[in-house]
């Protein structure tokens, strides 16, 4: 089984140092980059599938040069190789452009499954994977809580979380699946994995390598533009109540009543 | 006349999803500002119920009966039918919810039409001939306002962005049949499972009572649930509580879970780490019960009660009961 | 908790070392730190942490790849120790002693011996311990009394070892015993790999200690314990020099532990100084507190940089490794004691109670001034490197 996992380097949310540059694009120098947390769940799901039935995992990312640093961790977790699409043209890409580029990169690969994280922590809306699937005419299965491929029949079953439970979906492979955290905690990279990651290949691809026409792609062709930014309104002062449990409870009830919530 | 479209999403029983009533209300406001028409599209094997409801919000609803939607995943089919209806005008604006279904529609619709996407809107106004979309980014540290270069595009709308209000008049419903065969692969639904205790989606709850590591275990979450029941709210949780297996993932709020904006967020035993904060900081009112007065949540809560939640919460239940009594 | 970030220049740490350090840091923060207070309170060996370290290959770090290890160099091992010690000094000692106990085999073991013992050590299935110290032979190593008498195809060991870290949980103990009482002082000892349990071997008792409480410090009794000759490490009479060479390479691990403990205490003190308000301002904004924090940070960084340089010098195998090793432990151990004491001071009354980890860190720090050679012995080693041995 060959699985492609889409990963994205994002500013470390824990560092809380994200900011926009003067061009209203993310200032990537302001914050240490990490693999998007939801992508690690997708990778973990892929690792479990490959451990169960053999195969390989290719990581695919679109990132500025230097984005390979974060990919090392994903390789250390057990992925086989990485592909990084990087091109100066791509800075400031919008959703449409990102989906088109990743679809073009996937077009060069053979795979059974593409796994993606639910969304990205740096403002991603979780819409790119659906765009990629539509461009490649791949079956698209999202919100997955369980993934069961069957190599024999060439089909995959997915439990898709719904508001009331789950649906069981079935589609032929190759297919694109959007993973949730319900698939299980990502592992820590083992130290042997880290040492082994050193010798794993991270292939760089420019747009020309993919045969993509740069004119419709990247920041220059973006369909969206930031008009202005502002700080969110500050919340009011915090009221702190110390006292007996009864006093605390009464304070909550009064507070909610004052605000007409109850 | 230009059109502001809203894609109607459906609940499991075929009724209109709440987020769509909000998106439709927003579409109407935008249409008024733009001098345009607000119109809805419903795609389903049986769209009648949702289309009827959507027509109470907008002046026109295209109601597409697509037998393919029975037994198949809805979003890609809906995206393709919506693309057929709205055509290829780059100035078209389409609103969908920012939940799983809405995201799936938005992504596929962008690929099919070439329209841009702005995601997770917390507010949309009309300015300079197009929508101006407010989004909260960087864990809530910044609010950006963005527009489309072509003055039109797809916008995913967070729940609770506006309060849904029906229009004064009921719109007309235009029944339609699908105009062509599908080019996107259909994905079969072979089984639908309703899990006991599965709650209403927490994104849409008006009141959320949430528990963290401090709740201590699944038994502690029963206490959280009884407060939620007393307040007629939903139960939420931090990642730590979900990872510990005390409560299902569907209830998780934060970076890797749901983003919520309830009127009241009652945080029990939650420290308020940044990963959780990003999921709930836009709540109208935040009340925290925590033993540690220096926990990060004290920096952004409106009210912090310092104390042991296992003592405060039973007292709170009594107080709520007395008040209701 | 706020972590003061250390930006390592790329020319000092490799990409792998940074990734490895960050991974161990994540393990330490997420899995080890939450256990630290309980490990201290119960004084129980943290078997769960040992399994975690084994599973994540942390215990395999010092062993060669061909024997199932990770093949990390000394600096890499020290980076891991530092990160674990930041959260829990006791837990870091599991790795430190895995290195210490196996170093005689690394330095003087035959390829056959390494092939026999390393796989189990590298996987973490077997823990190692280092059996050198005796009730009457602490700093004066050569005064050891434990005897090893040749008997056919093996040796028979008799004697007592004391203050043996992990002595009660180890499966392999490198024991130093007198094979020739008549030989010159530094030729009397030989080193043996003793696989336990084995008849005649007993754990007599565990010490009650000021700090590192979850790490069992054992008194071990050897009563007619038979050890095959194939388990002798090095030649007869090589024991003393093997012990000294071992300590030269293991002391940086203690220095790394000390740096980690100190950093953990500083992180706590800084977070507290930011949050705690008295007289309507953050206590960190009082100059006296600010100056303490600045001194703590500077001293830790100086100790860390000396440690990293010492690792590089020792790895390069220069003639001066005893001096580097002694210097880094001396500076780091004293830094840890000073910084943790000051951290308790910054937290005031809260620093003195177990609601915050700094009192534990202060207790844990003390041992780094004592074991693997007291600070006085380190100074002796450094001075001898400067002056040469006194003429006798």
Beta bridge partners of A171: A156
Distance from CA of B179 to the nearest CA of A (A): 19
- Cβ–Cβ gap A140/B104 under 8 Å: yes
At residue C8, the pLDDT reads 46
Q: Which of A141, A181, A240 sits opposite B256 (nearest CB)?
A: A181
> Between these two residues, C296 and B251, which has the higher pLDDT value?
C296
Q: How does pLDDT run across A104-128, given as a tens digit for each residue?
A: 999 999 999 999 998 888 877 899 9
Total CB pairs under 8 A between chain A and C: 46
Q: Tell me the domains of chain C and their CATH numbers.
A: 15-123 (1.10.540.10), 128-237 (2.40.110.10), 241-387 (1.20.140.10)
What is the tens place of the pLDDT at every residue in B151-178? 999 999 998 889 999 999 999 999 999 8
Q: How confident is the model at residue B140 (pLDDT cuts 50, 70, 90)?
A: confident
Q: What is the pLDDT of residue C3?
A: 41
Asked if B306's CB is within 8 angstroms of A240's CB, the reply is yes
Judged by a CB distance cut-off of 8 A, whether residue C16 touches chain A is yes
Distance from CA of A261 to the nearest CA of B (A): 7
- With a pLDDT cut of 70, the percent of chain C lying above it is 97
Measured CA to CA, the distance from residue A10 to residue C214 in angstroms comes to 39
CA–chain centroid gap for C164, Å, is 12
By C-alpha distance, the chain A residue nearest B11 is A163
For chain C, positions 337-366, list CB contacts with chain A under 8 A.
Answer: none
Question: What average pLDDT does range C116-143 have in this prediction?
Answer: 94
- Interface contact flag, A191 C23, Cβ < 8 Å: yes
Interface check for C65 against chain A (CB to CB < 8 A): the answer is yes
pLDDT of residue C168: 97
CA distance C155 to C232: 9
Of C15, C26, C58, the CB nearest to A191: C58
**Cβ atoms A32, A67 nearer than 8 A:** no
Could you tell me if A76 lies within 8 Å of chain C, comparing CB atoms?
Answer: yes
Please name the member of B136, B184, B305 whose beta carbon is closest to the beta carbon of A251.
B305
How far away is chain C from the Cα of A258, in angstroms, using its nearest Cα? 30
Looking at every residue in chain A, the average pLDDT score rounds to: 91
Q: Which chain B residues are within 8 Å of A160, Cβ to Cβ?
A: 73
Q: Which residues of A touch C26 (CB under 8 A)?
A: 188
Contacts of B238 in chain A (CB under 8 A): none
Per-residue pLDDT, averaged over A23-51, amounts to: 89
Chain B residues in contact with A44 by the CB 8 A cut-off are none
Cβ of A130 within 8 Å of Cβ of B114? The answer is no
pTM: 0.83
Under the banding of pLDDT at 50, 70 and 90, the label for residue C25 is very high
Residue C372 annotated among the catalytic residues of the structure: yes
Phi-psi region of A143 (alpha: psi -120 to 50; beta: other; left: phi over 0): left
- Answer yes or no: is pLDDT of C1 > 70: no
Judged by CB atoms within 8 Å, which residues 69-98 of C form the interface with A?
A: 70-72, 80
Which tens digits make up the pLDDT trace of A50-92?
999 999 999 999 998 877 778 988 999 999 999 999 999 998 8
CB contact under 8 A, A191 and C65: no
Distance, in angstroms, between C70 CA and closest chain A CA?
5
pLDDT at position B149 over 70: yes
Rounded to the nearest angstrom, the minimum Cα separation between A90 and chain C is: 26
Please indicate whether, in this complex, the C-beta atoms of C19 and A195 are within 8 angstroms of each other: no
Instruction: Kindly tell me if the per-residue pLDDT of C4 is higher than 50.
Output: no
ipTM associated with this complex = 0.92
What are the domain boundaries of chain A?
Answer: 2-221
Contact A87, A62 (CB under 8 A): no
Locate the chain B residue with the closest alpha carbon to A40.
B256
Measured between beta carbons, which residues in chain C are less than 8 angstroms from residue A198? 15-16
Identify the pLDDT of residue A170: 97
Q: Do B132 and A163 touch (CB under 8 A)?
A: no
- Extract the tokens encoding B296: 């990060």
Task: Judge whether A114 and A6 are in contact, CB under 8 Å.
Answer: yes
Please check the confidence at residue C392 and state whether its pLDDT lies above 70.
Answer: no
Is residue B59 classed exposed, middle or buried when 0-12, 13-18 and 19+ CB atoms within 10 A define those classes? Answer: middle
Q: Does A73 touch chain C (CB under 8 A)?
A: yes
Which residues from B are below 8 Å from A230, CB to CB? 142-143, 145
A262 to chain B, closest Cα gap in Å: 8
Query: Which chains border A (3 or more CB–CB pairs < 8 Å)?
Result: B, C
Q: Is the pLDDT of residue B296 over 60?
A: yes
pLDDT bin (cut points 50, 70, 90) of residue C2 is: very low
Contact A134 B298 (CB under 8 A): no
- The model's pLDDT over A226-259, given as tens digits with 9 standing for 90+, comes to 999 998 887 788 899 998 999 999 999 999 988 8
* Interface touch C16/A195, C-beta < 8 Å: yes
Residues of B in contact with A104 (CB under 8 A): none
- Where do runs of H (alpha helix) occur along chain B? 18-34, 48-54, 74-86, 100-113, 218-230, 239-243, 274-280, 309-324
**C-alpha distances in Å from residue C82, one per residue of A217, C87, C252:** 46, 9, 10
Check A189 against C19: CB less than 8 A apart: yes
What 8-state DSSP symbol labels residue B13? T
The matching CATH number, chosen from 3.30.70.980, 3.40.50.1220, 3.40.50.300, 3.40.50.620, for A2-221 is 3.40.50.620
* Closest chain B residue to A235, measured at CA: B300
Distance (Å) from the C-alpha of residue A223 to the closest C-alpha of chain C? 37
pLDDT at C181 over 80: yes
What are residue B10's phi and psi, to 5 degrees? -115, 145
pLDDT at residue C234 in the model: 97
Nearest CA in chain A to B135: A123
Q: For chain B, which chains pass the contact test of at least 3 CB pairs under 8 Å? A: A
Task: Please answer yes or no on whether B320 and A128 come within 8 Å at the CB atom.
Answer: no
Predicted pLDDT of residue C319: 84
Residue C9's pLDDT is 47
Of C82, C83, C195, C372, which residue is the catalytic one? C372
End-to-end CA separation in angstroms for chain B: 55
The helix/strand/coil state of A181 is: helix
pLDDT at residue C11 in the model: 56
Confidence of residue B1 (pLDDT cuts 50, 70, 90): low
């Amino acid at each position: 089984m060959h699985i492609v996992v889409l990963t994205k380097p994002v500013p470390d949310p824990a560092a809380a140092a994200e900011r926009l540059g003067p061009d209203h694009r993310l200032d990537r120098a302001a914050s240490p980059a990490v693999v998007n947390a939801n992508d690690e769940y997708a990778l973990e799901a892929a690792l479990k599938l490959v451990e169960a039935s053999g195969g390989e995992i290719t990581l695919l990312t679109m990132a500025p040069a230097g984005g390979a640093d974060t990919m090392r961790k994903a390789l250390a977790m057990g992925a086989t190789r990485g592909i990084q699409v990087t091109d100066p043209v791509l800075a400031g890409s919008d959703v449409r452009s990102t989906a088109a580029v990743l679809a073009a990169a996937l077009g060069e690969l053979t795979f059974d499954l593409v796994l993606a994280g639910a969304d990205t922590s740096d403002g991603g809306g979780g819409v790119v994977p659906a765009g990629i699937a539509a461009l490649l005419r791949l079956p698209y299965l999202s919100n997955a809580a369980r993934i069961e491929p069957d190599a024999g029949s060439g089909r995959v079953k997915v439990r898709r979380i719904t508001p009331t439970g789950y649906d069981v979906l079935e589609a032929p492979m190759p297919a694109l699946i959007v993973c949730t955290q319900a698939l299980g905690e990502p592992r820590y990279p083992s130290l042997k994995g880290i040492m082994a990651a050193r010798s794993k290949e991270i292939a760089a691809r420019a747009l020309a390598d993919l045969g993509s026409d740069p004119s419709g792609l990247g920041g220059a062709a973006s369909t969206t533009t930031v008009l202005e930014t502002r700080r969110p309104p500050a919340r009011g002062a915090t009221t702190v109540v110390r006292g007996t449990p009864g006093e605390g409870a009464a304070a909550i009830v009064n507070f909610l009543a004052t605000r007409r919530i109850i | 006349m230009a059109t502001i479209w809203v894609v109607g999403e459906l609940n499991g029983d075929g009724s209109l999803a709440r987020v769509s009533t909000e998106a439709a209300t927003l579409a109407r406001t935008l249409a008024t500002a733009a001098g345009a028409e607000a119109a809805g599209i419903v795609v389903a094997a049986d769209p009648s119920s949702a289309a009827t409801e959507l027509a109470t919000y907008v002046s026109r609803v295209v109601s597409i009966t697509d037998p393919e939607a029975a037994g198949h995943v809805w979003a890609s089919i809906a995206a393709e039918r919506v693309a057929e209806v709205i055509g290829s005008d780059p100035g078209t604006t389409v609103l969908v919810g920012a939940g799983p279904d809405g995201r799936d529609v938005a992504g596929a619709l962008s690929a099919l039409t070439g329209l841009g996407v702005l995601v997770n809107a917390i507010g949309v106004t009309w300015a300079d001939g197009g929508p101006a979309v407010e989004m909260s980014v960087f864990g809530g540290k910044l609010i950006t306002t963005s527009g489309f270069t072509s003055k039109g595009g797809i916008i995913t709308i967070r729940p609770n962005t506006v309060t849904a209000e029906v229009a004064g008049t009921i719109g007309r419903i235009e029944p339609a049949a699908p105009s062509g065969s599908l080019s996107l692969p259909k994905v079969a639904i072979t089984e639908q499972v309703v899990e006991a205790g599965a709650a209403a989606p927490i994104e849409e709850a008006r009141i959320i009572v949430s528990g963290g590591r401090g709740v201590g275990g699944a038994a502690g979450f029963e206490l959280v649930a009884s407060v939620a029941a007393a307040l007629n709210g939903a139960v939420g949780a931090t990642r730590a509580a979900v990872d510990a297996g005390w409560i299902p993932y569907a209830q998780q709020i934060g970076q890797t879970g749901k983003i919520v904006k309830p009127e009241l967020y009652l945080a029990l035993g939650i420290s308020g780490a940044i990963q959780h904060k990003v999921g709930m900081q836009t709540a109208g009112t935040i009340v925290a019960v925590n033993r540690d007065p220096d926990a990060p949540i004290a920096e952004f809560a409106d009210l912090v009660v310092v104390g042991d939640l296992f003592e405060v919460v039973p007292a709170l239940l009594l107080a709520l009961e007395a008040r209701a009594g | 908790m706020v972590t003061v970030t250390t930006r390592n220049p790329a020319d000092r740490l490799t990409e792998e070392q940074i990734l490895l350090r960050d991974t161990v840091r994540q393990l330490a923060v997420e899995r080890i730190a939450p256990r630290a207070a309980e490990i201290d309170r119960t004084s129980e060996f943290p078997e769960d942490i040992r399994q975690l370290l084994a599973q994540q290959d942390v215990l395999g770090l010092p062993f060669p790849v061909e024997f199932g290890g990770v093949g990390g160099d000394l600096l890499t091992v020290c980076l891991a120790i530092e990160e674990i010690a930041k959260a829990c000094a006791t837990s870091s000692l599991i790795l430190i002693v895995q290195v210490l106990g196996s170093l005689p085999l690394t330095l003087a073991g035959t390829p056959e011996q390494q092939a026999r013992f390393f796989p189990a050590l590298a996987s973490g299935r077997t823990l190692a311990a280092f059996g050198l110290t005796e009730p009457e032979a602490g700093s004066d190593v050569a005064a050891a009394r434990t005897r090893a008498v040749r008997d056919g195809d093996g040796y028979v060991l008799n004697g007592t070892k004391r203050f043996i870290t992990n002595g009660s949980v180890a499966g392999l103990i490198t024991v130093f015993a007198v094979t020739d009482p008549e030989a010159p002082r530094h030729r009397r000892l030989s080193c043996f790999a003793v696989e336990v349990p084995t008849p005649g071997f007993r754990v007599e008792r565990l010490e009650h200690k000021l700090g590192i409480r979850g790490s069992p410090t054992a008194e071990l009794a050897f009563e007619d314990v038979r050890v095959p000759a194939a388990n002798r490490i090095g030649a007869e009479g090589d024991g003393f020099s093997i012990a000294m060479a071992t300590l030269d390479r293991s002391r940086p691990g203690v220095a790394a532990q000390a740096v980690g403990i100190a950093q953990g205490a500083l992180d706590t003190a800084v977070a507290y100084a930011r949050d705690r308000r008295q007289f309507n301002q953050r206590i960190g904004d009082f100059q006296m507190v600010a100056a303490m924090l600045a001194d703590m940070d500077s001293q830790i960084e100086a100790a860390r940089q000396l440690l990293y340089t010492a690792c590089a010098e020792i790895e390069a195998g220069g003639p001066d490794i005893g001096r580097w090793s002694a210097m880094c432990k001396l500076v780091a151990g004293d830094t840890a004691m000073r910084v943790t004491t000051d951290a308790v001071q910054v937290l005031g009354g809260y620093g003195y109670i177990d609601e915050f980890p700094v009192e534990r860190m202060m207790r844990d720090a003390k041992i780094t001034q004592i074991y693997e050679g007291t600070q006085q012995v380190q100074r002796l080693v450094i001075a001898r490197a400067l002056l040469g041995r006194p003429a006798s």
